[in-house]
Structure 1
């Protein structure tokens, strides 16, 4: 199985172009420096706004949002170092690790069935190239780039990076299949805290704000679903579901989301949507 996937990977040209990677590193450094300044302005603005007002303004797709200065500082400090990869999410197919100081994220399979991850990779490529061929999509929806696929035998990756993955009791450090893709960076602290202040039970708010895992905050709009209540102790900012009733409550214009999402669904049906930083703010 591994050798078959490896041959297919080479046939599809699933390698990172070094000049492209280098230019992205330069752009990342520039973006981080801008974010250090912009993040401070966002923090100052947030102090003067209610959670509802901040969320209405910042979760609009027309808003200019930057990463928080603390996140940008960590990214800047990690550039060119051998920082440990950090787990930033888990899905049905794989665990995702962020590569500090770069725009890369690695998805590793959670089961002994790497063909699911490979299928994820090939579909990701098809969707990405389909979107690139549609000129009206980029201003509404962005698809994270998919760079390459590695197998346990990909020495060029694992010899340099195996020790940088955490060695966990439930997920030991091993050379595995790996999908390298563009990381979707988390929303900044003022937005995270506003979500907590607005939707989290009061007794759990500070715990949620202080949680490291909840710093990996991504908002997932769910326009076809309503849900009431706060979630209690199960409240999480990872893939935070912004249901239709919450969108209405925050007075966010749903048409801004509907247009982009409907265009995207015309390209492919199995597409998940997240509110995140624009690519211009990420690299």
Structure 2
């Protein structure tokens, strides 16, 4: 019987215990989300990544699951052998089959529970079958100021903010460099806007990995979920499209203009590697990399100014309501 190991806006993700190295992503999520799009982008990205690695020496530490097939709900022969493996009520639907990203091992899960889970819920998490499907989302663009461990804790797609990663000595700066190279390859080699892609930390193939950590052990940086990605043009319009996607994505990417020096340092490292990789792909004569970075920095500055204006207006309205005189 198939076991569900995840669910997102695009659909649910399942594994067959008899073939644990593969996952099946069913198109049973929200409207306008498509595993067909996911499949198309996935298969276009793989050869571009291969070329960047072998001929440019870029994104050598970015892993993407292997693509094994897209099966439509009308594929009666394929569904004949698999329909009964899903629980009752699950109809035939378009399904994407890919390599499974390995979950983090028991030792790593135990350490994450001890570090970040409230003491009174640790035992329940340890006994939870779904928490064995543990992947970590590295949020390089967000800090958390929570003083106590969360009562609502799950290891499935566990987000770690940058300060949490720093506290357990994860190689945050190396992640930033790796993400920067991967993003440059997606933009300038594959011509994709990277909209709503996800990164996870998990063991590499055969249990290895490019990074090492006392808490997570050997692990790699995987990228997945391409169903919202769109093709882009290599011009000002494409830069605007890519920058907008960057800013609205989950906070995997470092953000410019932080008042926290450590975050600004991560941004500078990301920025430098991104520009270096961009020049290697596009040639030193291209300004696209610089234009993209400047656009991001402008968007962040505009966001800050808008927030200040809103806060000022709210303060004035509150003063008027309280009967105070506003000059």
TM-score by length of 2: 0.56
Counterpart CA distance in 2 for 1:88 and 1:99 is 10
Residue in 2 aligned with 1:276? Answer: 202
Alpha-carbon RMSD across the aligned residues, in angstroms, is 1.9
Aligned length: 195
Distance 2:30 2:78 in 1: 20
1:189 aligns with 2:115: no
Matched with 1:118 is: 36
Matched, 1:217 2:134: yes
Deviates more, 1:257-266 or 1:124-133: 124-133
1:261 alignment counterpart: 179
| Pairing of 1:163-182 with structure 2 (within 5 A) | 163-167=84-88, 172-182=89-99
Matched, 1:150 2:76: no
Does the 8 Å CA contact 1:131/1:143 hold for their aligned counterparts? Answer: no
My pick for the range that moved more, 214-223 or 229-238, is 229-238
Alignment gaps of 5+ in structure 1:
1-83
Q: Distance in 1 between matches of 2:80 and 2:58?
A: 39
Q: Give the structure 1 partner of residue 260 of structure 2.
A: none
Change (3 A) 1:248 1:115: closer
Q: Cα distance, 1:138 vs. partner?
A: 5.9
Q: CA deviation at 1:231?
A: 6.0
Larger Cα Rg: Structure 1 or Structure 2?
Answer: 2
Q: Indicate which of 105, 124, 132 corresponds to 1:207.
A: 124
2-side partners of 1:101 and 1:139: how far apart?
31
Cα distance, 1:98–1:137 mapped onto 2, change above 3 Å: farther
What is residue 246 of structure 1 aligned with on the other side?
A: 164
Change beyond 3 A, Cα 1:111–1:185: same
Alignment of 1:160 onto 2:64: no
Given that residues 93 and 116 in structure 1 are in contact (C-alpha distance below 8 angstroms), is that contact kept between their aligned partners in structure 2? Answer: yes
Q: Which has the higher contact order (CA 8 A, sep 6+)?
A: 1
2:15 & 2:123 partners in 1: Cα distance?
25
- Give the Cα–Cα distance (whole angstroms) in 2 for the partners of residues 212 and 137 of structure 1: 38
Alpha-carbon spacing, 1:112–1:210, altered in 2? closer, same or farther (3 Å):
closer
